[in-house]
Structure 1
Amino acid sequence: MSDVDSHLCVYPPVCDVCRAYPLPHAGPDERFSECMVKSVIRALVGHGYPPVENVWDWSDLEMALAGFLYHHEEKEKR
């Protein structure tokens, strides 16, 4: 079992204390960069997924990462 597996919450839907994501989103975050997205792409390719070779795939990946990483106010209003 990896370090990540050993720290996973048993029942996350009821455990807000354990949740690290999504992060509060208060504006631009210098950590969310082209370099970070390229690192994610390298990890995906390293695990056998096809390379990201067009702007539409890149854009979708950025949006998916942002959706996972950051808490957006629009989601709160629903």
Structure 2
Amino acid sequence: MSEVDSHVCLFPQFCNDCRAYPLPHAGPDERFSEPMVNSVIGVLVGHGYPPVENVWDWADLETALAGFLYHHETKEKR
């Protein structure tokens, strides 16, 4: 049994080894799409944040989402 297999966590919500994100990034992901980014913008606007109407704001949001969701080659994997 490996060290990972033997890991038992009593509080997975606070455990760095039990994190679901970031996901491995093996190439394009059809889930990461313009409609998904629009949905995130809708949630932000629904909570009182200003709409994302500038192309640079859109690009920054998309980059931030990708950084949260996926491991990248330049980042050290957890």
TM-score exceeds 0.5: yes
SS of 1:23's partner is coil
TM-score between the two structures when normalised by the length of structure 2: 0.79
| Aligned residue in 1 for 2:39 | 39
- Where do 1:50-61 residues align within 5 Å? 50-61=50-61
| Aligned residue in 1 for 2:75 | 75
- Inter-partner Cα distance in structure 2 for 1:59 and 1:69: 15
SS of 1:74's partner is coil
C-alpha RMSD of matched pairs (Å): 1.9
Higher strand share: 1
2:22 paired with 1:22: yes
Which structure 1 residue ranges, 5 or more long, are not aligned? 1-6
Choose 1 or 2 for highest CA Rg.
2
- Inter-partner Cα distance in structure 1 for 2:48 and 2:62: 19
TM-score between the two structures when normalised by the length of structure 1: 0.79
| Equivalenced residues, count | 67
> Which residue identity is paired with 2:69?
L
SS of 1:73's partner is coil
Which structure 2 residue ranges, 5 or more long, are not aligned? 1-10
Q: Structure 1 segments of 4 or more deviating over 6 A? A: none
> Which residue identity is paired with 1:62?
E
- Inter-partner Cα distance in structure 1 for 2:73 and 2:24: 9
